[in-house]
Amino acid sequence: MTSISYHILHDLPGRLRLRLPQLAGPGVAEPVRYWLEAQDGVEDVRINRSACSLVIDYDPRRLARAPLLARLAAFKPQHGSGSTPETSDDPAVTPLVRSVVTILLLPLLPRPAQRVATLLNIGAKLLKGADTLIHRGVKVEVLDALAVGLSASRGKLYTANITDFLLTLGEYLEERTQQQSDRLLRRLLRPAPTLAWVERDGQLVQVPGDQVRLGEILVVGVGETIPVDGYVVDGMALVNQSAVTGEDVPVAREAPRRVVAGSVLVEGRLRITATRVGDDTTTARIARFIQESLDQASDTQRLADELADQRVYLTLVSAGAVYAFTRDLTRVQSVFLVDYSCALKLGTPMAFKSGLYRAANHGILIKGGEAMERLAGIDTLVFDKTGTLTRSELEVTDVIVLDPRHAQSEEALLAVVASVEEHATHPLSQAVVEAARERDLQHISHGEVDYMVAHGLSAQLDGWRIIVGSRHYLEEHEGIGFEPHEPQIASLLAEGKTLLYISSERGPLGLIALRDTLRADAEATLRRLRTLGIDRLVMISGDRQEKAEALGRTLRLDQVHGEVRPEEKAALITALQREGRRVGFVGDGINDGPALVAADVGIAMSRGADLARASADIVLTDDRLFAVADACEIAQGTLRVIRTNFNATVGINTAIMAGAVLGRLSPVASALLHNGTTLGVLVHALRGARVTGAERAIKGD
């Protein structure tokens, strides 16, 4: 396909309106839109295919006009990219134009021509009302048709046309607002089409991003979008992950760090090995996740729909009563134009969409309005310890010398143990080696290492043998007793630490204490959750009870369960629910799946197992525990927006109804006030819930 050609219609700082003849053809509009939206600095893209019009809103401080136009001109849509149905962003303005022209022409036309012009103008609304009545029953379209038709039948042509104009204008603005809420999610629903440079047969070959194969090496340069999930094998770069994780500041990436599809290279160059390609990438999974979310209606949304339908009948009955008592058709028209339905039916799903979008931009994927509704109502949150409150990374906290004959200082003991432990792959061993590396300790020569699986290891060292392992192994198998040092051991264990025991053949040499790395944002997250109304915070751990309780005291948890087997987690959740608690569970492991399903709301961490992520109602895409608090705040805020909108809709429309029944409001005034209320509710829903800026300090990005 040839490059894009365009003609500039309007050019303002930060805004371009272009005419692109290619937009009239299939398979062009959507790829152009997605590609432009992926460009750093582009804030909004609107397309009208029928007018071949493209409007680009951009930030001139981040993206200059000339490079933007150059990129557009060079863009070539991929074959087959137009499989998605192409739609226009702009609702049809023809009914509005027709209505305005009719109102302006009426004074110039003779009476018979006025009737014909009015019928042509309002005919579409009358036909729509009749079709709705036949196929769907009494809905708001029927009331609108009755109101406009009554005015016309009574010869009040100006009233009929002005009422039709106000109703049409309201529908137009409602559709624009609805499309704005859909645009909020567009970038999340489908990643931009990208090209990839792949190493094949010793050469760099450019292929479509969805054709990269698993395990291939990609080369990504400045300004290019990473098309796959993978790991860096070479190079160093700054990567903007905002489209995926919501991080505002680019992050550094080098081997062996992970990168995700949809990120953009800001500076540097990377070679990446692909671990997830095509539909398995993060962005593709996010798209499926959110699409499934939009298809799930919440109890609140279903209730809003039911109440909206009921209030259509309320309006119809009220109009009948007014006519029975007053025989005033003008009042009847005014009553017909009071509509609760639009604001109730559109405001609730729009608020949920806005909440889903805002959550996704904070690294949180929520499976629809029902999950958000349940999250807003929880009062108890249960955390799995490892990988959730901690990072599953051990760190050395204490090095204690028990016999200075072989190691006269902590550094000397740590250097010896690390030199032996570097031959093992156990997390305890790696933590010791990392501690020695951080202190820049020299390697100590030693003999061959004997490794005893699940027990420990030993090696010859300058004529004596060093043994490192568990207390059980050293005491039961090697006959080395640590009873004289029991007070020190008990004190370290009471602090929730894991111990490595070191000895020679003659007796104990020392202890190395290690502890899980507590997440930097753990304490702040728990404090924030309490302010949001979560009054019970619980931790489940497979560690010994005293170790789990030590961490519980540090985090001021309300309840701690230690030595919990994987199959017991769901039972603990169920026990809390039997107490009348509404329980959320946060976990990341394969064995967390049953607990995630048993909880009222399951939340999976970003590095969690695929099974955990599939079982969860909410998945964090950003590795921040504080995102759990963000999710709760967004959910609660969204439900507050919905309640406010509901109360405003019912209250204001009831006041308008009263004015119409009492004859204080004309049909035109009734339509104007109703449409203004509806638009106010929709805009409030579109703005959605806000979150505090506290998490920015936590992230440290």
Output DSSP code: residue 106: G
How far is it, in rounded angstroms, from Cα 525 to Cα 114?
67
DSSP H helical ranges for 106-153: 111-135, 140-153
Distance of CA 698 to CAs 272, 348, 516, 593, 623, Å?
29, 32, 19, 28, 12
Radius of gyration of the chain (CA): 33
Can you read off the two tokens belonging to residue 630? Answer: 């963000």
Active site residue 59: no
Bridge partners for 206 per DSSP: 197
Q: How many Cα atoms are found within 13 Å in the side-chain-facing hemisphere of 422?
A: 16
Can you read off the two tokens belonging to residue 177? Answer: 């607002």
Q: How many Cα atoms are found within 13 Å in the side-chain-facing hemisphere of 405?
A: 10
Output DSSP code: residue 413: H
How far is it, in rounded angstroms, from Cα 85 to Cα 405?
79
> Is the CB of residue 489 less than 8 Å from the CB of residue 499?
yes
Cα torsion 147, 151, 153, 158 to 10°: value is: -140
β strands within 335-476, DSSP E? 364-366, 380-384, 390-401, 449-452, 456-461, 464-469
Can you read off the two tokens belonging to residue 417? Answer: 């143990």
Using H for helix, E for strand and C for coil, what is the string for 508-576? Answer: EEEEEEEEEEECCCHHHHHHHHHHCCCCEEEEECCCCHHHHHHHHHHHCCCEEECCCCHHHHHHHHHHH
315-325 burial, b at 16+ Cβ within 10 Å, e below that, comes to: bbebbeebeee
How far is it, in rounded angstroms, from Cα 532 to Cα 561?
24
How far is it, in rounded angstroms, from Cα 484 to Cα 148?
96
Burial of 280 (0-12, 13-18, 19+ CB in 10 A): middle
Distance of CA 407 to CAs 466, 471, 532, Å?
11, 20, 52
In 3D space, the residue among 192, 274, 190, 204 whose CA is nearest the CA of residue 232 turns out to be: 274
Burial of 540 (0-12, 13-18, 19+ CB in 10 A): buried
> Is the CB of residue 540 less than 8 Å from the CB of residue 382?
yes
In 3D space, the residue among 515, 447, 455 whose CA is nearest the CA of residue 480 turns out to be: 455
DSSP letter for each residue of 189-241: HSPPP-EEEEEETTEEEEEEGGGPPTT-EEEE-TTPBP-SEEEEEEEEEEEE-
How far is it, in rounded angstroms, from Cα 339 to Cα 335?
9
Can you read off the two tokens belonging to residue 432? Answer: 């010791």
How far is it, in rounded angstroms, from Cα 615 to Cα 598?
10
How far is it, in rounded angstroms, from Cα 465 to Cα 418?
15
How many helices (H) does the chain have, and how many strands (E)? 24, 24
Catalytic residue among 89, 164, 339, 384: 384
How far is it, in rounded angstroms, from Cα 580 to Cα 381?
13
Q: Which residues are catalytic?
A: 384
